[in-house]
Amino acid sequence: MTAAAPRPTPGRRRTRRALAIATGLVLAVALVNVLFGGGLATAQEDTGEAADDGLLQRGAQIFGAQCALCHGENGRGLPVDGPDGGPPLIGVGPASVDFMIRTGRMPLDNANERMRHREQQMSDQDRRAVVAYVTSLAPGEGPGIPDIDGWEEADLSRGLELFTTHCAACHGPTAAGIAVGQRDISSNLDIATPLEIAEAIRSGPGVMPAFNDEILPEDDVEAIVAWVRDLRERDSPGGLALGRSGPVSEGFIAWALGLGLLMIVMYLLGEKADEDGDDHGRA
């Protein structure tokens, strides 16, 4: 019986196989870990850096092609001379660049013309690239792209008050837009998205002043955004609101519709009476 060779019992065999499988699994996991896990992490870092580089490169490329003509090499700025030229962009901050491209103001066609709101002139990806590039010229300077996630819960009442104090003088009390100084016209804010409103507040496009977060903390920016949006979306309890440009459009309606309709009535009433006029002696 001593010579009983250790013959694997079915139970043992099962154990060994389980062990093998377990080892295999561990190895596999380890291998995966080694090959892919670390590799994944590295890949992430790599692509991250590569993408950043790529993004910056792409940004530099687009900048060279579309912006340097006016803003100069590396955004150093060029004097306005004929249709070209523009201010230096070093340190203007991401909010300004993002706003300018988002609202289609840049690239400008002609440095002597007013910037105007239009379709974005490049893809979102390209915009991010240019923003990254211009930011990299002076990292950390200028206002960053504001975070306004909470604007939908912001305090409308505060927003109305702040809008009245800081914005109504230029944009009109209903944000319909009016002229400011010579060549500048403040925008009708109906077309601006919440992020654009916040970026405009922080960066101050054109002659509009920039409001930093000492004057308007984040909560206040959100409140203003909420009020500007509310102005556009609130139902008007009084009926049709034509253009909301205040007394100007009201005067027009009063003449054209009010007195206009009454003139027609007068004309019809008078004409009819004309047919059977009688002669009466003047007493």
Positions in the binding site for other proteins (CB under 8 A): 114, 116, 156-157, 159-161, 163-165, 168-170, 173-174, 177-186, 227, 230-231, 236-242, 244-248, 250-251, 253-255, 257-259, 261-263, 265-271, 273-274, 277-283
Q: Per-residue x/- mask for ligand HEC, residues 34 to 73, rule CB under 6 A?
A: --------------------------------xx-xxx--
Q: Are 78 and 72 in contact (CB under 8 A)?
A: yes
Among 58, 187, 202, 222, binds ligand HEC (CB under 6 A): 187
Beta carbon nearer to other proteins, 217 or 243: 243
Q: Are 92 and 142 in contact (CB under 8 A)?
A: yes
Q: How far is the CB of 210 from ligand HEC (least distance, A)?
A: 8
Pick what 167 binds: other proteins, ligand HEC, none; C-beta below 5 to 8 Å, kind-dependent. Answer: ligand HEC
Binding part of the chain for ligand HEC, among 8-16, 109-117, 229-237, 269-277 by CB under 6 A, reads: 109-117
Q: Are 91 and 135 in contact (CB under 8 A)?
A: no
Looking at this protein, which amino acid is placed at residue 57? Q
Core vs surface per residue 199-212: b (16+ CB within 10 A) or e: bbbbbbbeebebbe
Pick what 279 binds: other proteins, ligand HEC, none; C-beta below 5 to 8 Å, kind-dependent. Answer: other proteins
76: CB partners within 8 A, 6+ apart? 88, 90
142: CB partners within 8 A, 6+ apart? 91, 92, 93, 94, 95, 96, 203
Is 189 near ligand HEC (CB under 6 A)?
yes
Measure the CA–CA gap between 140 and 87, rounded to whole angstroms. Answer: 19
Q: Are 222 and 146 in contact (CB under 8 A)?
A: no
User: Which chain residues interact with ligand HEC by CB under 6 A?
Assistant: 66-67, 69-71, 84, 86-87, 89, 92, 96-97, 100-101, 103, 105-108, 110-111, 115, 117, 130, 166-167, 169-171, 180, 184, 186-187, 189, 191-192, 196-197, 200-201, 203, 205-209, 211, 224
